[in-house]
Amino acid sequence: MGDTLEQREEKRETRNGLGRFVMGLGVSLMAAGGLMRFDGPASHPTAAVWMIGVGAPVALVGALWAWRNRAGQDARTLGASTGVVERAHRNRSIMLTLSPVFMLLFGLISIDATGKLLAGEGDNMDRLMIGAVIAYAWLGPLIVLGRGGLTASQRRLLEDELTRHHRALAVATGLVVLMAGVSAVIVVGLWRPDWGVRLAPLVMCAAGAATTLRFGWLDRKAGQDG
């Protein structure tokens, strides 16, 4: 038996998302390679060429895959059908499940990059890394707040009373983690100022991840019967 319209559309969305992710990975590799090449007198020429050389085809394959799986007639039919609210909620849940893992990973990676910059040994890659970590730490909380990358119609679908209730609980959790983390950073910073700065992005990511995880957990729990 063939897939239903909804199942087909779900698979298409997953393939499209994968294509976008691969494209983003390729573009990131190219950007990182470009920065390395222009960061002083060819600081890491072989690695930079390799990153650009690999990044370009990866980005191209990802873009083609995303384009091949772009929204078509099925998406339009489904968008006009009932259950569109449920699909919008499910898509948000997927985003909220994935982002905390990357947030914490990036937060840990940023410790080394911040350390290098503080020691005067950092390069554009490290600056880029810290910028990306800070930007990414905002992503989860922005989704929880109903702001991150959503169209007006998606926002309308996702905003209901339960969402606002979960948001309040999730933001409270994030605030506790942020306060605890900043307190720890202040204490550490009094003894080792460099470590205070190095840990700050990690605290930001941890607070963002805690907000996102709590919201995602509440959202999943709300879908369970009984």
Partner 1 sequence: MGELRLGIRLKDVRTAAGLTQAELAERVGVSRKTVNTVENGVFVPSTPLALGLARALGVKVEDLFWLED
Binding site for partner 1 (CB under 8 A): 82-83, 85-86, 89, 160-163, 165, 219, 221-226
Shortest distance, CB of residue 86 to partner 1, whole angstroms?
Answer: 6
Place of tokens 């007639």: 73
What single-letter DSSP state applies at residue 224?
S
**Is the Cβ of residue 6 or residue 123 nearer to partner 1 in the bound state?**
6
Shortest distance, CB of residue 142 to partner 1, whole angstroms?
Answer: 20
**Is the Cβ of residue 163 or residue 211 nearer to partner 1 in the bound state?**
163
Measure the CA–CA gap between 45 and 34, rounded to whole angstroms: 10
- Burial label, 215 (beta-carbon count in 10 A; 0-12, 13-18, 19+): buried
**Torsion (CA) 67, 216, 102, 79 in degrees, nearest 10:** 10
**Is the Cβ of residue 149 or residue 226 nearer to partner 1 in the bound state?**
226
**Torsion (CA) 92, 167, 180, 132 in degrees, nearest 10:** 30
Shortest distance, CB of residue 2 to partner 1, whole angstroms?
Answer: 23
**Is the Cβ of residue 163 or residue 173 nearer to partner 1 in the bound state?**
163
Shortest distance, CB of residue 11 to partner 1, whole angstroms?
Answer: 21
**Is the Cβ of residue 85 or residue 187 nearer to partner 1 in the bound state?**
85
Which amino acid does the sequence have at 40? G
Q: Which residues contact 75 (CB under 8 A, 6 or more apart)?
A: 9, 12
Shortest distance, CB of residue 9 to partner 1, whole angstroms?
Answer: 17
> Are residues 203 and 178 in contact, defined by beta-carbon separation less than 8 angstroms?
yes
